[in-house]
Structure 1
Amino acid sequence: MGKYILGALVALFPYSLFLGMYCLYTPSIMETVFFSNGFLLIGAVLLCAVVAFLLSCILVILAIVKKYDALAMARLNMIIKLCQIPAYVVIFVLGFFFFISVFGIGFTIVFVVFDCAAIVMSGMVGAVSAFRAYAEKRLMKSEGIVFGLLQFIFVADVVACILLYVHLKRGKKQEIAAAERPV
């Protein structure tokens, strides 16, 4: 259960950018919470990034040390990546509109950095799920490497995490069916 709480906090990381933008464009919040200091807001958003990264690292370490089930890790990875899709879409649209405006290029750079940070954090979880599947002999080495590397490529990561989950789920069903067959 704890891994799902950690995973939920990692999945919410890209949304902290929206919260930061909302605070930036809401004067009452900026005055009362951040004392009209934009650097405090940037610090708060960076703190969210550091916390999310540490939670990803903790999740990876726990998955390796406690030997979490590969199927459970693949499910968690799929949940994280699917929860982040709306954030990526909104960040892409906002980044496009800020890019075509003269004053918004800085926002576009921040959006790209946030996207890359989010893909690294969720990719770590995906890579460890592929590693666990290989350690459990449910993937060949080449498949584990491919699934692990695809976790760090935009769009391919979502496809790879779904394929990994389906592959592991199908293998689990076949194991159960084989165990139930009379000899």
Structure 2
Amino acid sequence: MEHAVEPFDIMGKRPRPRGLKALQKFEEFLGAGLILFILVLLSIQVFQRYLPVATSPWIGELSRYSLLALTFLMVGSLVGQGRHVSIDVILKVGTEKTRRLVVIISSAIVAMCCAAFAQESFALVTADTEQALAITGIPMWLLYVIPLVAFTSATIQALFNIVYAPEENLEPAEEPSDVELETQP
């Protein structure tokens, strides 16, 4: 007798698609690159203070906007991992189904918020203000592309969290202690 194939479980027993994992790794790679870039810029600025050379004001401006870009670019990666402090507290109680429901509801809320932020970012990118940064001359619309990309990515990650409710998002972020590891069979 053959066993029937179980129907698709909307509550998420499947792994995340490779494309989403690749997007998350790419965002983390960009984040690490931006951290190194900021470190180099600030190191140059520190050395300029102690050397008999003129300081460059563009270094400070570029490092500030790189920090801003880092903050926005990591949003998608963090949403994909499902790590929210308040949700983590809720995931410590309840059954597996209630934890899945919490992940789905929180992902839906995050998807709506990120989509609204992406829409506003798109409006800022397409608005032709002809403004530029004071020192470097970078057009402002170019800076608004960063939150647009980040919130679009976060929206996609959150929507896939609704469909997949990934297994790794059902457990709280804290690591088990040594005592817990010893008591497990």
Q: TM-score range by the shorter chain?
A: 0.3 to 0.5
Q: Which structure carries more relative contact order (alpha carbon 8 Å, separation 6+)?
A: 2
TM-score by length of 1: 0.34
